[in-house]
Structure 1
Amino acid sequence: CTLKLHLNFGKLNRTAVKPYRTIQFACSAPLNPLLPLGAIIRAGRQALEDQIKSMSRERTRRELPPVQEHIDKLKKVVEEGNYYGALQMFKSISARYVTAQRFSEALDILFSGSCLELEHGLVNCGADLALLFVDTLVKSKSPCNDETLDRIRCMFKLFPRVPVPPHLVDVSDDEDVHNLQESLGDARSRVENLTSFLRAAIKWSAEFGGPSTGYPELHAMLADYLYTECPELDMVRISRHFVRAEDPEKFASTLINFMGRCYPGEDDLAIARAVLMYLSMGNMKDANLIMDEIKKQAEAKHPEFSESDLIQFTSYILETLQRDALPLFNMLRVRYKSCIDREPLLNELLDEIAQRFYGVQRKNPMEGMFGDIFKV
């Protein structure tokens, strides 16, 4: 329907309409003539507001210059050393393109900005823009494809890799202690920034065309960076990503490396955890592959490896799951309870394995510790 109203719309948008004038506009749906006047007025105001917003977006869309002009100008700002100023300009300019729903150009700006900042060593600024890049992918509902993944790879490769300094320093030397604390703080900051970026990218890929657990290569990137760059190794967190990375050979070599640098008693725990994580996902193939690969590489350097009760238990579980043998599965859990209880996560994983392979219902399915990859 078409309405003519003589109303004071001036407060709605002083630049768009004059106060106290007759406005004619079309409503999006027919109006019941029996409606109260107040309802008709509210519908009219809403229709006018929508019309003004639409006109504003169209005007913005027309007025925005070619994106390369902005990129070239901001590149000069970065090269002049005004990194923080450039960051704010990258954000504000890209936001205008997003408002105009010119998402492709907004992504161009954010990608260029992130790369420029990272190339100049500004990890916080570069990571901030990288995260905004992923946020814009979500807003625009961009599909997970090779072109976008290439951009994510490019930004990932620009995150610096700095050897983590040894924790053993002369505590009597204040300068050494200060330098160590500063280096460790920088390393933690880099890891946190990279983790926020890739976690967001993993979630985006899962929602827009990738596997339900996220694109495997993104998991591999994050797992590798966490292992090589994090001052405090969290092998549970690292393993969660590796088992979704579809690269068991890389995971096996990482575990072999870990065996040479971990504390006594951590090596067999890390290996058993990795195998059980694969099994909890129903991935027998990679569980066996990683166990075979580690045995092949480790037994020569670490003869005590095969003597571990936990490794023996893990080998028996792999054999048991190849046939319908729930009683044997339960018997093994009882017999090796003392070594399984070294880490609560192992029992949690075994419960998930029993449910997946033998249909055993968990006592409380909400207690899963391995479920939501986007929280790790």
Structure 2
Amino acid sequence: MSKERAKRGTLPPAQEQIEKFEKVVEEGNYYGAQQLYKSISARYVAAQRYTEALDILQSGACIQLKHGQVTCGAELAALFVDTLVKARCPYDDATLVRVRTIYKQFPKIPVPQQLGDDDDVQRLSETLGTAKTCVEGCSSFLKAAIKWSAEFGAPRGGAPEIHVMLANYMYFESPEVDMVRVAQHFVRGNNPKEFASTLVHFMGKCYPGEDDVAIARAILMYLALGNLRDANALMDEIKKQVEAKQLEFPKSDLMQFINFLLETMLRDAFPLFNMLRSNFKSTLDREPSFHELLDEIAEKFYGVRCRNPLQGMGMFGEIFKMMGGD
């Protein structure tokens, strides 16, 4: 028997371990099962039997999460990603399916909409705490998976599919939604249609005046990444869904600016770009980050450096730059 076969023979097939550990979980001994998943998977990793270690950790994460053991499940999910790195697993469809399988097991916690007595308030407090734990655990797992994917074959910003998973979970499961963070992941994803659906949903629940800011921010974020195609696709899809749902699309100076901007980006018209910024300055001042995003857009599309000493010098500075001044 070769040394490799001898080494492999020291551990049973992973499926035997999985079936044994699942029984421990089903008996309600979650902590005991957790220790088994961690210690035994580590032995498979040490033996360089990475696929079996991943099988054990994936199974453990899913069954713990299925039983509502979010802390345990999230820990095993994190170890799953850590093992992907140790095994130098490439980013591919098969591994993406594994990540998605674990992601889908993270609980969705319904938050009570109406409060009555003190017991209801107590339950709400407990529910919000649980929801926060779920979001933190799922976010940590998916962020680690994004980092792994970027290192092993995905685009530089990480797997677009995982960014969409994270954006969706953050939006629909966070007790307090942060639309900036949600948008940051959606624009690095590959599904502007799904992003549009989320923004339309947000329009129906946000405070007055937040809807146009959320849409504008999303468009500007896409453009700051140099992604004019998805910026246009997002705007078209939002308008289509709003019409289908018989809702009213925001009518504001900010939306007018965004429509003009998207038209401007189709042509090499930096002076027009600057004129738009100047004419809509008071509107853009509603959200300070818009000016930073527009600086990045100017750099991406027109080669104008952000925050260089010429900014703020008006026409003379622009003329100097167009003449080739650095």
Give the TM-score range, shorter chain.
Answer: 0.7 to 0.9
Residue deviations 1:194-247, cap 9 Å, x none? Answer: 111111111111111112212221111111111111111111111111112211
Aligned match of 1:335 = 279
Aligned match of 1:128 = 75
1:195 to 133, 139, 148: 139
Aligned match of 1:269 = 213
2:33 to 81, 86, 101: 86
2:51 to 104, 122, 144: 104
Aligned match of 1:352 = 296
Aligned match of 2:318 = none
Residue deviations 1:255-299, cap 9 Å, x none? Answer: 111111000111000000011111111111111121122234436
- TM-score, reference length from structure 1: 0.77
Structure-2 separation of matches of 1:70 and 1:158: 21
State yes or no: 1:208 paired with 2:155: no
- TM-score, reference length from structure 2: 0.88
Q: Is the 1:219–1:241 contact (alpha carbons within 8 Å) kept by the matching residues of 2?
A: yes
Aligned match of 1:44 = none
1:259 to 203, 209, 212: 203
1:139 to 69, 86, 92: 86
Structure-2 separation of matches of 1:199 and 1:327: 40
Structure-2 separation of matches of 1:285 and 1:161: 33
Aligned amino acid, residue 107 of structure 2: P
* Secondary structure, aligned partner of 2:112: coil
State yes or no: 1:118 paired with 2:65: yes
Range that drifts further, 270-279 or 63-72:
63-72
Q: Is the 2:109–2:127 contact (alpha carbons within 8 Å) kept by the matching residues of 1?
A: no
Q: Is the 1:164–1:229 contact (alpha carbons within 8 Å) kept by the matching residues of 2?
A: no
Structure-2 separation of matches of 1:162 and 1:205: 28
Q: Is the 2:62–2:73 contact (alpha carbons within 8 Å) kept by the matching residues of 1?
A: yes
Residue deviations 1:150-201, cap 9 Å, x none? Answer: 11111111112222333x635xx32121111111111111111111111111
Range that drifts further, 229-238 or 119-128:
119-128
State yes or no: 1:67 paired with 2:19: no
State yes or no: 1:241 paired with 2:185: yes
Aligned match of 1:224 = 168
- Displacement of 1:85: 0.9
Range that drifts further, 312-321 or 61-70:
61-70
Aligned match of 2:227 = 283
Aligned amino acid, residue 90 of structure 2: P
* Secondary structure, aligned partner of 2:104: helix
State yes or no: 1:301 paired with 2:247: yes
Aligned amino acid, residue 302 of structure 1: E
1:169 to 101, 115, 121: 115
1:322 to 243, 253, 266: 266
- Displacement of 1:58: 9.7
Aligned amino acid, residue 203 of structure 1: K
Task: State the structure with bigger RCO (CA 8 A, min sep 6), 1 or 2.
Answer: 2
Structure-2 separation of matches of 1:164 and 1:198: 23
Aligned match of 1:50 = none
Answer with 1 or 2: which has the greater Rg: 1
Structure-1 separation of matches of 2:103 and 2:140: 12
Unaligned runs of 5+ in 2: 309-326
- Displacement of 1:62: 4.6
Aligned amino acid, residue 236 of structure 1: V
Q: Is the 1:58–1:100 contact (alpha carbons within 8 Å) kept by the matching residues of 2?
A: no
- Cα RMSD (Å): 1.9
State yes or no: 1:179 paired with 2:123: yes
Q: Is the 2:131–2:173 contact (alpha carbons within 8 Å) kept by the matching residues of 1?
A: yes
Structure-2 separation of matches of 1:105 and 1:89: 14
Paired residues in the alignment total 304
* Secondary structure, aligned partner of 2:99: helix
Q: Is the 1:272–1:314 contact (alpha carbons within 8 Å) kept by the matching residues of 2?
A: yes
Unaligned runs of 5+ in 1: 1-54, 365-376
- Displacement of 1:357: 0.7
- Displacement of 1:60: 6.0
